[in-house]
Amino acid sequence: MKIVYSDKHAQHDPQTFIVRGVKQRSAEQPERATRLLAAAKDAGHEVIAPKAFGLAPVQAIHRPEYIDFLQIAAREWAKLPGASPEVVPNVHPARYPATYPKSLVGRAGWHQVDTGCPIGPGTWAAALASAEVATTAADMVLSGTREAYALCRPPGHHAYADMAGGFCFLNNTAIAAQHLRATHARVAVLDVDVHHGNGTQGIFFERADVLTVSIHADPSAYYPYFWGHAHETGAGEGDGFNLNLPLPLGSADAPWLAAGDTALARIRDFKPGALVVALGLDASESDPLQGLKVTAAGFAAMAGKIARLGLPTVLVQEGGYLSDDLGHNLVQFLAGFERGRA
């Protein structure tokens, strides 16, 4: 399988992650991508560089004021008296009607939903390169490649049209799906990350041309908490085109794969022309975030089920954090996908 990768991801090396009030280094480290790349190379997969697409694919998903904020935030933040090395918000507009602020501190609170998405000097360059990785993989599929894997970092599925969160800045999965819409009237997104793909859901929530399906740990007790519940089915024209399949914390292969069968049945009914898989390997039993207990064999089995849909497919890397099994889980997923295609 062809793998799209950019080493520009390493320009984003977040140091700030506040868990239960305690500041620690972010789990979303550059080593994630280098481990995945090494494992893929060792397994014989071909690695290629992304093409430059400029801002157009990003602008098709994200709002102008948000793109502007991401581009200038680190530079302008550094000019503030006593500013920290990274942009970390301390005030948010919450759930009530609010006015867009002029202050950079206010803009940070408006555009960064939590403290898991600090912005440093290299964040914008890394995020844009990650989006170009996803767009290149989608472009390959549009050009006739049956499947391509976008080794994206930073990840993207928690990013809304105008809001970063959960390690994510630009929504690579949504960008890939929208790029596929250039040819396909209907595109499906299947998110198998341990966390709900809330940003992707939000972006397509009122649309009927992109079906969004997410299998994840129950958000009533797990990030992102406020989104990902089963009753969220879409709105307006998109009503019925969002499917959430939350699982109890600690669920292992059997319920995860059963949820996969439900997800794939809905995708078949939708009859899309192409598929985007938001590939989170953090559902692993050895992942440090410990939301679900999926084994390497489980990842391979899920991949085979997805491949047997027979759809042109873009695999977009989302979560999956440092453990001895991270690279192995990727290799098993890719192998399972290729067996399913055979």
Q: Judging by DSSP bridges, how do beta strands 17-19 and 22-24 pair with one another? A: antiparallel
User: DSSP of 48-74, one letter per residue?
Assistant: EPPPP-TTHHHHTTS-HHHHHHHHHHH
CA distance 219 to 232: 12
**Contact yes or no for 154/167 (Cβ under 8 A):** yes
**Contact yes or no for 206/238 (Cβ under 8 A):** yes
SS (H, E, C) 150-180: ECCCCCCCCCCCCCEECCECCCHHHHHHHHH
Closest CA relative to residue 134, chosen from 187, 179, 188: 179
Is residue 9 within a helix (H) or strand (E), and if so which, with residue range? none
**Contact yes or no for 43/335 (Cβ under 8 A):** yes
- Is 158 designated active site? yes
What distances in angstroms separate CA 207 from CA 116, 186, 215, 241, 319, one per listed residue? 28, 10, 20, 7, 25
**Which tokens go with 334?**
């890719």
Give the phi and the psi of residue 176 in degrees, each rounded to 5. Answer: -65, -45
Residue 47 bridge partners (DSSP): 3
Residue 217 bridge partners (DSSP): 247
Closest CA relative to residue 140, chosen from 59, 56, 50: 50
Question: How far from the centroid of its chain's Cα atoms is residue 208's Cα?
Answer: 21
45, 158, 195, 216: which one is catalytic? 158
Residues designated catalytic = 158
